Structure 1
Amino acid sequence: MGKLILVFREAIDSDLALLREFEQRVIEAERPYNSAIKSEPTTYYDIESLISDRDSQLLLAETDNEIVATGYAQIRSSKASLKHAQHAYLGFMYVSPKHRGQGINSMLIEQLISWCEQRSVQNFYLDVYALNRSAIKAYEKLGFRPSMVEMSLSRE
């Protein structure tokens, strides 16, 4: 197996169909961690806005002309109680199954962080399910640390 050559690029409108497919794969992967996710097809992201919004970067990773990963950074206003006025939220982190374990997600996150830093944003947040130990471990390798735990209660 040769060395993996990745090209990172911003998503464009012609990528929408594939991005919607990847979104469904993210949702399927997260259903075991959250029984409240609808069983019928649903959506997480406003993909069109992520493509067009100047405060967002929806990034794709390609190898051999195949899109193999996606993720976005969105610059948001921070809570008034925090020292920083803005932060970046990272989401839609997806790597195709046959390309996992090669560090693609880490490289993609580094690209997103670099884009944010060019805009003077230095604080980064993402959500990960507490039981998704492999994802937590991967994010910790990049320097992320647990910050806040979301608690839920359903009385259905």
Structure 2
Amino acid sequence: MIVRAAKETDLLRLEELEQGIISAERPFNSTLKVEGAKYYDLPTLISSDDSLLLVVELEGELISTGYVQIRVSKQSLNHDKHGYLGFMYVEPEHRGKGINKVVIEHLIEWAKAKGIHDFYLDVYAENGFAMSAYKKLGFENTLVEMAVHIK
């Protein structure tokens, strides 16, 4: 298993994995587009000095992703910047092997080297498996986003 920074040559596979995460999250959000849904600006995540997009490669195939992006924090918080974690995805046949934990640890270490000590991520409240996994890594609920769709 190789954990490495994503490259532009990985873009096609990253787009496939992005669709995997969108498909996995569609049951939690009925407002996601049926076709053409995109979450990430992948070229920017690869090239920006303020982000690190990692991939996990196994036997020449990309099976997992994750990124950290350094963002400006709300002025009400006691930290000026924080790390936002996203695109946390492991192909279904490789889940339960601790791969996501390895990715998150690498991302946090990279951001800590840049002076970042506060980290956030979004997860659907109904996604119990993901919620449990993140809590095991020390994350806790801080804010609940609520939405309504009115016709």
Question: Could you tell me the TM-score, scaled by structure 2's length?
Answer: 0.98
Aligned length: 151
Q: CA deviation at 1:98?
A: 1.1
Of the candidates 69, 74, 87, which is equivalent to residue 69 of structure 2?
74
Is 1:20 aligned with 2:15? yes
Q: CA deviation at 1:81?
A: 0.8
Partner of 1:85: 80
Q: Please list every run of at least 4 consecutive aligned residues from structure 1 whose deviation after the TM superposition is greater than 6 angstroms.
A: none
Q: For structure 1, which runs of at least 5 residues remain unmatched after alignment? A: 1-5
Partner of 1:3: none
Is 1:120 aligned with 2:115? yes
CA-based RMSD:
0.7
How far apart, in 2, do the equivalents of 1:18 and 1:79 lie? 34
How far apart, in 2, do the equivalents of 1:58 and 1:81 lie? 28
Q: For structure 2, which runs of at least 5 residues remain unmatched after alignment? A: none
Query: 2:136 is aligned with what amino acid?
Result: K
Q: CA deviation at 1:64?
A: 2.0
Of the candidates 37, 40, 62, which is equivalent to residue 35 of structure 2?
40
Q: How does 1:1-12 map to 2 (within 5 A)?
A: 6-12=1-7
Of the candidates 25, 42, 46, which is equivalent to residue 51 of structure 1?
46
Work out whether residues 68 and 95 of structure 1, in 8 Å CA contact, stay in contact via their aligned partners in 2. Answer: yes
Q: CA deviation at 1:40?
A: 1.4
Percent sequence identity over aligned pairs:
52
Q: CA deviation at 1:71?
A: 0.4
CA deviations on 1:107-138 (whole Å, 9 max, x unpaired) are 10000000000001000000000000000000
CA deviations on 1:48-67 (whole Å, 9 max, x unpaired) are 00001110000011122221
Q: CA deviation at 1:42?
A: 1.4
Query: 1:100 is aligned with what amino acid?
Result: R
